[in-house]
Amino acid sequence: MSWREQLKSPGIQVKAPKAPEKGSSLWTKCVQCGAILYRLEIERNDHICLKCGAHFVMPARERLASLCDPGSFVERDPDLRTSDPLKFQDQKSYETRLKESEARSGEPEAALWGDATIESIPVSICVFHFEFMGGSMGSVVGEKVTRCFENALKKSCPAIVISSSGGARMQEGIFSLLQMAKSCAALSRLKAAGIPYVSILAHPTTGGVAASFAMLGDIQIAEPDALIGFAGPRVIEQTIRQKLPEGFQRSDFLLEHGMIDLIVDRREHRKTLTRIFRLLSHQIQC
């Protein structure tokens, strides 16, 4: 037996502060500082720890409610559903996993998109829902991201994608990988028209999502301490047999090395986006 066959895969392990489930205990624990927190207080604070500022996973619709003008978000394509072209089966069938994820998350897929306004500025926005199969990108998610870009091009309004994903969905094989090229092709048409695209990177943003549209924003904004990269640090260490630098693939590290433009607290996203769009609009008019 060769040394490669003796190796055990460490997998991609992401310890993210999870959003407390609806109807669960009134109290939860921050995985970063260990503080015991009142669930309703976390929700009122945009799912951010009141003690240390750690950003919990935030449900997509709550993100939209916090970011957009009240009542302005209009969802598009809510009925798009994933098929099972490969009839994929591991310990469970893909169809079963989809049904379980929908029942658990209350969402039909790992992303939703639509039209909205932010401080009266029209935008085309797509938000990932990490609670649905780890925000993985299959054919429907890729289609929604693509339509978000195409809609921005049609209406000549800024595009925003808020990514939180483990990457391409293995149950769809090449169909999921094709979404990287398809979404980037739509994005290239948007860029050619001079229409701004802001990419917001939440924890975690990895795999095929990070390797495509998520890292191609005209402005790259990351949340504090977000894990951002293609393969996870544990996988990289096992592959290259070296210890990685402290904080590798975290948002602070990426900012220091020029991979992102800003690290912005979730509570400041609305103000930051407003300033960016007004500045870009002024420059375009000039």
Query: CATH fold of 57-285, please?
Result: 2-enoyl-CoA Hydratase; Chain A, domain 1 (3.90.226)
Tokens of residue 246, six digits: 């402290």
CA atoms within 13 A on the CB side of 186: 22
Q: Rounded to 5, what percent of the chain is helix, strand, coil?
A: 40, 20, 40
Q: What is the pTM of this model?
A: 0.88
Dihedral sign, Cα of residue 214, residue 220, residue 221, residue 222: positive
Pinpoint the residues of the chain covered by CATH 3.90.226.10: 57-285
CA atoms within 13 A on the CB side of 123: 32
CA distances 115 to 69, 112, 123, 152, 199, Å, are: 11, 11, 6, 9, 16
Q: Which residues pair with 227 in a beta bridge?
A: 250
- Residue 23, φ and ψ in degrees, nearest 5: 80, 0
- Print pLDDT tens along the chain (286 aa): 454 444 444 343 444 455 555 545 789 889 888 899 998 988 999 999 999 999 999 999 999 999 999 999 999 999 999 989 899 999 999 999 999 999 999 999 999 999 999 999 999 999 999 999 999 999 999 999 999 999 999 999 999 999 999 999 999 999 999 999 999 999 999 999 999 999 999 999 999 999 999 999 999 999 999 999 998 888 899 999 999 998 999 999 999 999 999 999 999 999 999 999 999 875 544 3
CB within 8 Å of 149: residues ≥ 6 apart: 124, 159, 183, 186, 187, 189, 190, 197, 213
